[in-house]
Amino acid sequence: MKNKSLIKNFSAGNDKLFIDFADYWNHYRANQKKDSKIEYATVDQEGDPITFNDKETRMNKGLIDEIIRRSGVVDTDQPLEYWFNHPLVKHEAFAIVSAMIDMILPDTIIDSVGLYTDVRTIGYGDSQSFDVEPSDIFSISKAGQGQRTSEIKKQFKGQVTVIPENREITVGVSLYKVLSGAESLADFTAKAIRSIETQITLDSYTLFAATLGALPTTATTGLRVAGYSQASLTRLCEQVTAWNGGSKAVIVGTRLALVNVLPNDANYRYMLDSPYATLGYIPQAFGYDVMMLPQVADRTTEWALALDNETLWILSPASQKLVKLVLEGSTISNTTGTFDNADLSQTAMFMKRWGVAIATNAIAGAMTL
């Protein structure tokens, strides 16, 4: 991706820190999601076992070493505390954090919303236009033996332009504690990534769900069905596959929604080690793949969940994705001075620009449970 080349330029060949952070982030995600499929190193370069806490300690030391190297002002013969307030030290600390966010963010977003979202990165000041080709085919006319032409057919492309909007996170931070090791800069960076990832996921999903929630509900041909049945779900899958040019449909939903995808016949059995018992849903149903959307916390309401547990979505991920997500430029960061506030507290600010829109010629279906 574009961001990976920017990271290589930023690191100027000293990319070990960023490689280590990618592994640290994977380990962090695996711990957070309890997902054994996320790969991360379990031994160091010497072959000795390494834990997440070991990685965090090494990451913080590596971050401080990189801050010292990039700032070029720290005399290592003097105590590090002497350089805490140097503007280059502060600048490089959060420039490195911003670069790490930009390196990891696109991949984490794809994990969350990649089934229905096309992710693009653009430069600062740019916008992204998406061409939407007609999904109709040409109609065929009967013609006489001596007739040169029939009714002329012509199609035109549409276009949707996505203009990113600026978002900002402002948090309290103590550079003194970070550089002295009392606070973890690695954990701080990981939490900033999680915060941005969660908001982008919510923006993409909210648009996706609202769009499919407005689908027509005609009894036998509508793309939105109320109430689960095997026949209705199969019909929706066939519709979506056929109208997307044969691109096979996939049944998508949260784990709680997918529990309902079962045959209408109640005379079936499943073993305790079957996929339904181990995954919480069956991975294939009625000839179509079944895929789970990871649930997201709705932090505007205590203990609420953001993704709809009462709806199944029928998509063709191999055709055009419904949602287009555009990430603009690099993350901008800044921190106030140590002595700007009377209580000697500091604030760190991160700005990231993104935009989402529906731009597709594909169709999708929805079944409310």
CA triple 359-304-202, angle to 5 deg:
20
Q: Which amino acid is at 85?
A: N
pLDDT digits over 135-167, tens only?
Answer: 788 888 888 888 888 888 888 888 899 999 999
pLDDT for residue 14: 67
pLDDT digits over 259-285, tens only?
Answer: 999 888 767 777 777 878 888 888 998
Tokens, residue 213 = 């929630």
pLDDT for residue 34: 62
Alpha-carbon gap, residue 199 to 222, rounded angstroms? 32
Asked whether residue 5 carries a pLDDT value surpassing 60, the answer given is no
- Helix, strand and coil content of the chain, in percent to the nearest 5, comes to 35, 20, 40
Q: What percent of the chain has pLDDT over 70?
A: 91
pLDDT digits over 296-343, tens only?
Answer: 888 888 899 999 999 999 999 888 889 999 999 888 888 777 677 777
pLDDT for residue 291: 92
Answer yes or no: are the C-beta atoms of 200 and 206 closer than 8 Å.
Answer: no
Q: Band of the pLDDT at 1, cuts 50, 70, 90?
A: very low
Alpha-carbon gap, residue 322 to 89, rounded angstroms? 44
Q: Environment class of residue 260 by beta-carbon count within 10 Å: exposed (0-12), middle (13-18) or buried (19+)?
A: middle
Structure pTM? Answer: 0.83
Alpha-carbon gap, residue 147 to 13, rounded angstroms? 69
pLDDT digits over 18-68, tens only?
Answer: 888 888 888 888 887 666 678 888 888 888 889 988 998 888 888 888 888
Question: What residues contact 157, with CB distance under 8 A and at least 6 apart?
Answer: 131, 132, 133, 134
> What is the DSSP secondary-structure string of 319-350?
S--SEEEEEEEEEEEEE--TTSSTT--EEEEE
